[in-house]
Every structure is written in C-alpha cells, then in structure tokens.
C-alpha cells in the first residue's frame, strides 16, 4: 500500500471519528437539557434525575475517549501533510507553474474566440 493511500485512509478514520464526536456532543447536550427539565418538574423523583445525570456522565466519558483518540490520530496525519507540503514547496519551480497558468489562460481565451 502506498503511503498516500495510508494517509487517505487515516484521514477517513479521523473524519469518521469527528462525525461520531459531533453526534455524541449533540446527544450530550440533549441529555443535559432533558435532565434540567426533569429537575424543574416538581413531580419528578430525585432518582430519575440522578439516572439522567448518570447517562450524561456516561456520554461525557465517551466524548473524552473520542477526543483522546483524535489527538493521537491526527498527529501522524498532520505530520504527513506538513512533510508533503514541504516537499512540494521545495521541489516546485515557479516558472513551471507560471507556464502552466499561462497555457491554461491561453487555452481558455482561444475557446472564447471561436
């Protein structure tokens, strides 16, 4: 497997973890709102409020684990991006880029004239 493919797969993993984190944070916020509503209802038993807060705490622990995992994963991916950028920056010749841009502009202008 090429290193670029490995980096792409790692990016997909990070993206999936980020999506999962967003979902957990949304659930966490809803659980907090629900627990708050239960607390403000006079007929609610304290045990029900405690259970709601335990659920909030459990989701909070999952969020902490996801954030920790993302911290570990993104380091390698960010190093890959930096190394790739450094290589492209040092090996790219400005004249070739300018020639490519000029050719593209000339091509676009020639299409319009027809």
Whether pTM exceeds 0.75: no
Q: Which residue has the tokens 């993104």?
A: 74
Per residue in 46-61, pLDDT (tens digit) is: 888 899 999 999 999 9
Q: Which domain holds residue 52?
A: 3-113
Domains identified in the chain, total number: 1
Is residue 35 within a helix (H) or strand (E), and if so which, with residue range?
helix 3-40
Per residue in 67-78, pLDDT (tens digit) is: 999 888 888 888
């Amino acid at each position: 497997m090429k290193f670029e493919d490995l980096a792409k797969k790692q990016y997909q993993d990070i993206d999936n973890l980020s999506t999962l984190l967003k979902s957990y944070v949304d659930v966490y916020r809803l659980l907090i709102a629900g627990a708050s509503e239960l607390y403000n209802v006079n007929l609610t038993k304290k045990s029900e409020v405690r259970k709601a807060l335990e659920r909030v705490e459990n989701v909070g622990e999952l969020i902490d684990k996801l954030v920790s995992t993302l911290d570990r994963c993104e380091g390698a991916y960010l190093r890959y991006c930096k190394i790739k950028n450094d290589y492209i920056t040092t090996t790219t010749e400005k004249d070739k880029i300018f020639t490519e841009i000029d050719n593209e502009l000339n091509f676009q202008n020639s299409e319009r004239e027809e």
